[in-house]
């Protein structure tokens, strides 16, 4: 379907690809992964419209290739007044209407051959889309995704997640040879993630999908394309198998690195001795031997450089430090003990302190979404709001942030940090990254550059306008700004949306360590169970509080396979232990754990099958 050969492309300030090559063959379902900002969406756009770009190398598309595309953005104003059926049947109706016009032209056309050629192309396209059966195909697809009763509902009345799913259905109905999708899973609730999984697995054509969703990666794809540091890697298999192969490579490189380092240290000592000898004795052969040994040392150092796919860019997300005590100097032991005891008493009081109170909250648009919502959030408590798309969760979070409702009370000493899924709400998309950060107290650009390195922003990215950044980069920039505040209450609206898997894990770690209160809207199961203390579940137009254990059971019963998710948790624990072993250079223990990890992965494959 697609063949890319030695492709190189760069922006004025950034090189994206360096001689990358890959193929996408008929029938493959390929996941396209990589860190935020590596150029995945740009590469997809180059495949869609090769004439728009100046690049080196080749992008070769099969002559029979008809491409369908679902972009990462959801709402479209022009679709709002259409019904679901009108939206899905639009291309078929347009084809029929154009065919009728061409037929009318035939009666008076002087150049009948060209008119007939247009007529034949329209017929061929209609046949390729199975146009004769489009009405029944629409009904089948709507049934598959649980929307069989939505045919006559207007698009404006759907949630963003439902509309996103319909975009996928619409492109699939057109039966392209190659379907490209850019983060089709963003903002989908658990039910719709499952429906998207069904759609992808039922599709007979070729697929290229940019996604960071861990559940989809493990259930929907038989090929991985990984873009990192300007290079690309192909892997035939699912994401779990690919990660395991990477881990094995990392262990191999770590083992080799230990041996290389020992050899480097021995060679460095020899070079040092030879240099001392060369200063005392002027012998040509000694100089040649020294040069040869220095060349050997440089080769050893070069060989020690890690693969770009193993040494990944991992952000270091630091959320605001909350509840830190001032350091008191010149105290004797008794004074210190008294201060510590007082701190313990204060902390005990602070744990019970209420930072947010909601009483009788309701939200309604054309109909009531939430009503009779009562909530108390305490200092240090982390709570996830979970529910179907379109039930008012984002509106509630935004109303808390605005603090304009009588039913919402925020404690006087609370400072809020808000991460919005609408990036333009918290970031000026016309600003460069530098301009956005300059107002936060940095004296020099070098300070901004040094600070944002932890969030994986390269120097050349800082001069870009925020509107040109990827969705993941904009989320990371919001987090970087929040980290500079004194926020002791975080309101996070879909915080893992658009983030690559490495950034998701880094955010989870930062939230677990954060001492303030967190209220977040989330649909990522892994993120919820790894971070939240409890869940507020949208049910009967209000919020019902439940423990994480109860939430897990509900998700197992309704949406995901319990055995698989439990194995997934074991896998994560083993991967964390292996990473710790590698950090401590305990290679043998890492190998033993890797064998156990392979057993768990085999069990996961059996569950999926």
The share of the chain scoring above pLDDT 90, in percent, equals: 41
pLDDT in tens, 170-217: 999 999 999 999 989 887 888 888 889 999 999 999 999 999 888 888
Is-contact 482 420, C-beta < 8 A? no
| Residue 66 and residue 210 share a domain | yes
The CA angle 95-98-99, to the nearest 5 degrees, is: 80
Q: Which of 204, 219, 243 is the last residue of a domain?
A: 243
Structure tokens at 492: 């996070």
| Residue 85 and residue 45 share a domain | yes
| Residue 267 and residue 145 share a domain | no
| Residue 29 and residue 103 share a domain | yes
- Alpha-carbon distance of 443 to 189, in angstroms, equals 43
Average pLDDT of the residues of the chain: 84
Specify the number of domains making up the chain.
Answer: 4
| Residue 64 and residue 143 share a domain | yes
Report yes or no on 338 lying in a domain. no
Alpha-carbon distances of 330 from 325, 341, 344, rounded to whole Å: 16, 18, 21
Pick 64 or 346 by higher pLDDT: 64
Q: Is the pLDDT of residue 136 over 80?
A: yes
- Alpha-carbon distance of 38 to 384, in angstroms, equals 30
What is the arrangement of strands in the sheet containing 382-386, beginning at the earlier edge strand? 416-419, 489-493, 517-521, 382-386, 534-539, 542-547
Report yes or no on 281 lying in a domain. yes
**Residue 593: which region, alpha, beta or left (left: phi > 0; alpha: psi -120 to 50)?**
alpha
| Residue 69 and residue 13 share a domain | yes
Rg from Cα positions in the chain: 29
Report yes or no on 312 lying in a domain. no
Partners of residue 24 on adjacent β-strands: 2
Q: What is the DSSP string of 284-301?
A: HHHHHHHHHHHHHHHHHH
Q: What is the pLDDT of residue 55?
A: 92
Expressed as residue numbers, the domain containing 43 is 2-243
pLDDT in tens, 430-489: 999 999 998 888 888 899 999 999 998 888 888 888 988 888 889 999 999 999 999 999
| Residue 137 and residue 71 share a domain | yes
Pick 592 or 311 by higher pLDDT: 592
Report yes or no on 500 lying in a domain. yes
Report yes or no on 322 lying in a domain. no
73 confidence band (pLDDT: 50, 70, 90):
low
Is-contact 198 182, C-beta < 8 A? no
What 3-state class would DSSP assign to 437? helix
Report yes or no on 347 lying in a domain. no
- Alpha-carbon distance of 428 to 537, in angstroms, equals 33
347 confidence band (pLDDT: 50, 70, 90):
very low
Question: Which stretches of 527-570 are assigned E, i.e. beta strand?
Answer: 534-539, 542-547
| Residue 550 and residue 402 share a domain | yes
Tell me the HSE value of 122 on the side-chain side, using a 13 A CA sphere.
19
């Amino acid at each position: 379907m697609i063949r890319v050969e030695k492709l190189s492309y760069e922006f004025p300030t950034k090189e994206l690809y360096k001689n990358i090559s890959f193929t996408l063959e008929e029938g493959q379902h390929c996941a396209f992964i990589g860190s935020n900002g590596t150029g995945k969406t740009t590469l997809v756009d180059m495949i869609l419209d090769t004439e728009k770009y100046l690049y080196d190398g080749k992008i070769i598309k099969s002559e029979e290739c008809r491409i369908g595309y679902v972009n990462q953005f959801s709402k479209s104003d022009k679709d709002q007044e259409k019904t679901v059926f009108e939206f899905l049947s639009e291309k078929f109706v347009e084809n029929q209407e154009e065919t009728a016009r061409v037929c009318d032209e035939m009666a008076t056309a002087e150049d009948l051959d060209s008119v007939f050629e247009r007529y034949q192309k329209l017929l061929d396209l209609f046949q390729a889309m199975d146009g004769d059966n489009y009405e029944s195909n629409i009904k089948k697809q709507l049934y598959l995704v649980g929307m069989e009763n939505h045919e006559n509902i207007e698009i404006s009345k759907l949630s963003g997640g439902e509309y996103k799913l319909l975009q996928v259905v619409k492109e699939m109905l057109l039966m392209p040879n190659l379907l490209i999708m850019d983060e089709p899973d963003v903002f989908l609730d658990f039910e719709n993630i499952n429906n998207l999984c069904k759609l992808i697995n039922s599709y007979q054509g070729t697929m290229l999908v940019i996604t960071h969703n861990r559940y989809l990666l493990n259930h929907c794809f038989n090929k991985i394309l990984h873009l990192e540091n300007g290079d690309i890697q192909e892997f035939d298999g699912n994401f779990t198998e690919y990660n395991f192969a990477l881990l094995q490579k990392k262990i191999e490189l770590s083992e080799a690195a230990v041996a290389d380092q020992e050899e480097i240290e021995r060679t460095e000592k020899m070079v040092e001795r030879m240099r001392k000898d060369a200063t005392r004795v002027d012998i040509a052969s000694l100089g040649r031997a020294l040069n040869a040994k220095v060349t050997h040392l440089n080769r050893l150092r070069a060989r020690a450089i890690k693969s770009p796919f193993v040494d990944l860019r991992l952000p270091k997300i630091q959320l605001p430090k909350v509840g830190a005590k001032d350091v008191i100097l010149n105290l004797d032991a008794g004074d210190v003990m008294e201060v510590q005891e007082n701190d313990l008493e204060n902390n005990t009081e602070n744990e019970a302190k209420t930072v947010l109170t909601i009483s009788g909250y309701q939200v309604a648009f054309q109909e009531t979404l939430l009503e009779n919502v009562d909530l108390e959030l305490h200092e240090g408590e982390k709570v996830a709001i979970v529910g179907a798309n379109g039930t008012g969760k984002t509106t509630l979070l935004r109303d808390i942030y605005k603090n304009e409702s009588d039913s919402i009370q925020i404690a006087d000493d609370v400072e809020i940090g808000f991460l919005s899924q609408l990036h333009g709400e918290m970031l000026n998309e016309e600003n460069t990254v530098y301009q956005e950060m300059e107002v936060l107290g940095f004296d020099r650009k070098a300070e901004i550059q040094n600070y944002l390195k932890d969030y994986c922003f390269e120097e050349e990215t800082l001069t870009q306008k925020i509107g040109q950044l990827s969705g993941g980069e904009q989320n990371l920039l919001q987090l970087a700004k929040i980290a500079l505040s004194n926020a002791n209450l975080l309101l996070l609206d879909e915080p893992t949306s658009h983030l690559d898997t490495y950034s998701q894990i880094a955010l989870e770690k930062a939230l677990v360590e954060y001492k303030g209160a967190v209220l977040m809207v989330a649909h990522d199961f892994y993120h919820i169970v790894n971070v939240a203390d409890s869940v507020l579940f949208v049910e009967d137009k209000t919020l019902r509080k439940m423990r994480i254990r109860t939430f897990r059971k509900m998700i197992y019963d309704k949406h995901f396979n319990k055995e698989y998710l439990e194995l997934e948790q074991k896998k994560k624990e083993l991967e964390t232990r292996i990473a710790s072993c590698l950090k401590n250079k305990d290679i043998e223990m890492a190998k033993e754990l890797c064998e156990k990890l392979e057993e768990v992965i085999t069990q996961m494959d059996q569950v999926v099958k």
